[in-house]
């Protein structure tokens, strides 16, 4: 394992983008957050608002709900990515059309200040700075001390001012209370 990844017992901060535009989008996002947080090596520390966004790329599909999470993890980046892909499968993700409709999409955006350029994983995520549907929710959760915080903030504000990519705040949630069973 590379020196830049957490040592035994150490925690890294990572940021994950979530999106859904099939089925009950809100429930799928909450289910994804719960799966992530229930993993013994991952702890969700911050959750963004839910934003409804117009599709990008392949536009003949329903609007998305998008969010971002800040997590603390002992998993190295590649294992975290593979775990996210496993969660997508558990939630019914089928990859048919590039940028097409999906029950859930989980993208690893940032992992501490690690830079990786491998076939399976590129960090920071190569297209995140071009996408308001990533930047706006990420701005909600990114730590003020993160090296890309100022760039994310500036790009997010510009995207909102431009009305770029049809992004609107859909709902704010307290995900811990929203995910707990209802008691009468």
Any idea which residues carry the catalytic annotation?
Answer: 93, 102, 105, 107
Residue-by-residue DSSP string for 57-110 = SS-SSPPEEEEEEEEEESS-HHHHHHHHHHHHHHTT----STT---S-EEEEEE
Residue 51 DSSP symbol: E
* Beta pairing class for 105-111 and 12-20: antiparallel
Q: How many helices (H) and strands (E) does the chain have?
A: 5, 8
């Amino acid at each position: 394992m590379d020196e830049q990844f957490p040592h035994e017992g150490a925690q890294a901060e990572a940021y994950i983008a979530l999106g859904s535009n099939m089925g009950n989008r809100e429930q799928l996002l909450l289910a994804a957050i719960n799966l992530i947080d229930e993993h013994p090596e991952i702890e969700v520390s911050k959750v963004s608002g839910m934003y409804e966004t117009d599709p990008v790329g392949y536009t003949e599909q329903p609007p998305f709900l998008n969010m971002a999470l800040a997590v603390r993890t002992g998993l190295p980046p590649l294992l975290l990515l593979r775990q996210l892909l496993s969660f997508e499968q558990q939630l019914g993700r089928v990859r048919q059309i590039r940028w097409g409709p999906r029950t859930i999409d989980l993208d690893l955006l940032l992992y501490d200040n690690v830079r990786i350029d491998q076939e399976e994983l590129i960090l920071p995520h190569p297209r995140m700075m071009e996408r308001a549907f990533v930047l706006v929710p990420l701005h909600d959760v990114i730590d003020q001390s993160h090296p890309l915080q100022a760039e994310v903030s500036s790009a997010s504000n510009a995207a909102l001012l431009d009305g770029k990519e049809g992004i609107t705040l859909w709902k704010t949630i307290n995900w811990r209370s929203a995910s707990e069973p209802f008691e009468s």
